[in-house]
A and B are shown apart, each in its own frame.
Chain A
C-alpha cells in the first residue's frame, strides 16, 4: 500500500520513473488497473482506494502540459485531484433488478429453489426430510380499462407476456388502481407446489363526458335558457344507455339532478347514482331577440340573484 506521501507523487503511485515515456506510463497504469479495478475486484476498499489513486495519477500524467508543470514544480498532484467518481457496480450491484441483468434469471432462480428445497442433496444422518413444496411467484400486470367498462363491468381477453391468453372478468364498479387477483395464473410452483397468482392492477381511462366519484358518476348537462326557465324533457347519456330527464321549470345553472341507481353497480354494495349538473348555455349573442325580451322583462321584474349568497355585501 502506498503512503500518503507517495500518493502525492503520480510517478510513485504508478511505480514509474520521472523520465518514463508516455508508453511506459500507459503500460504501468494498465498493469495496475488490471490488478485493482473495483469492477473486477469487488469488496476490497483498500484496492478501490488504490485504484482511485492510480487512475488519478494516470489521468494527471497523460496530460503533457500538466506533466510538464508538475515536473517544473508549478503544481502539485493534489491540485488536480479528480472528483469522486461513480463505478458501475454502485448502480448495477445496488440491490434492485436492473435492465442489464441477464434475461431468464427468474427461471434460474426457480431451478435454484428446486435444488435447494427439492430432492437430491444428501440423505440419512442429516435428517433430510424430502422436498419442500413452494408456491410459485406472483406475476404482476397492468391493464387499461375504459371508463364505461369500469362502471358496467366487462370481460377482456388479454395475452400474457408468456403467450398464454387469459379471460379477465372486470367486475362492475372497479376502481382505478384496484388489483384483481387471478388465483393460479402466476409462475408454476416448485416441487409440485401450487402456482402463484396473477395480480392485475387496473388503470381506469378517463371518459369524454363522465367523471367518477366513488360509485357515483358525474355528468355536466348543457341546457338552453328556455329549458331552464320553462322546464322540459332532455335526452341524457348514462353509463347504461340514454334516458329522458325531466328538467323542472325554473332550474338554475349548477342544479344537480340525481338519477338513482344509474352509477356503478358493484356486486357487493349498493349501486351508485348518476349526478347530472345543469349548465345553462346562452344562445349566440348575435341573436338579439332574447336581448330585447330580457330588456323588456328587466324593466318591471328585476330580482337579486345574490340574495342570501355568502359573498354578498
Chain B
C-alpha cells in the first residue's frame, strides 16, 4: 500500500487539497490506515486519470463523476464480455459455428 505523501510524489500535478477532494467526493476510495489513507496501485492510477481529465482535458468537477462512471461501466462491460467470450470459446464447435453465423447476420443487417 502507498502512503498519501508518496502518492503526491507519484502523481504529477496532484496537490494535497485536490487529493482530499477526490477522497471526500468518493472518486477515489483508499483504505484507512493507522496514520492516514493507504492507496493501492489502482487508486494511484485512478488519481492520475482524474488529474489528466481535469487538468489536461478540462473536465470540470461536475462532469467528472459522470466521466469516471462511464469509464468504469465500460470496463465492467468489457470484463463481462470477456467472461462471455470465454464461455463461448468453451462450447462445441457446432454451437460456436451457429453463433458466429448468427452474429455475422446481425452485423450485416
Contacts and interface: CB of A to CB of B under 8 A. Distances in A.
A34 B57 contact: yes
A227 interface: no
A264 B22 CA distance: 52
Interface residues of B, number: 26
27 contacts: A29-B56, A30-B57, A33-B56, A42-B74, A58-B56, A59-B12, A85-B48, A86-B48, A88-B71, A89-B75, A91-B41, A91-B42, A92-B42, A92-B72, A92-B75, A93-B75, A93-B78, A95-B79, A100-B29, A100-B42, A100-B46, A100-B72, A101-B75, A102-B72, A102-B76, A109-B80, A112-B80
B45 A91 contact: yes
B7 to A, nearest CB: 13
Q: Which of A34, A59, A102, A109 has the most CB of B within 10 A?
A: A102
B45 to A, nearest CB: 4
B52 interface: yes
Contacts of A39: 49, 71
B64 to A, nearest CB: 13
A15 B102 CA distance: 46
Interface in A76-105: 85-93, 95-102, 105
Interface in B15-72: 29, 41-42, 44-46, 48-49, 52, 56-58, 68-69, 71-72
Q: Which of B56, B58, B78 has the most CB of A within 10 A?
A: B56
Contact of B56 (A30, A42, A86, A91): A30
The number of chain A residues touching the other chain, given as a range, is 20 to 34
A89 B78 CA distance: 11
A137 to B, nearest CB: 12
Contacts of A101: 72, 75-76, 79
- Sort A-B residue pairs by CB-CB distance and give the 6 closest, nearest first: A88-B49, A91-B42, A88-B45, A92-B75, A93-B75, A101-B76
A67 interface: no
Interface string A46-62: 00000000000011000
A274 B102 CA distance: 67
A242 interface: no
A92 B102 contact: no
Q: Which of B41, B46, B49, B58 has the most CB of A within 10 A?
A: B49
B55 to A, nearest CB: 9
A59 B12 CA distance: 10
A37 B59 CA distance: 13
Nearest to A112: B80
A86 B102 contact: no
Q: Which of B12, B76, B80 has the most CB of A within 10 A?
A: B76
B57 A33 contact: yes
B82 A95 contact: yes
A37 B57 contact: yes
A306 interface: no
Given A30-B57, A34-B57, 11 more contacts: A42-B74, A59-B12, A86-B41, A86-B48, A87-B45, A88-B46, A89-B71, A101-B76, A101-B79, A105-B76, A126-B102
B97 to A, nearest CB: 14
A33 B52 contact: yes
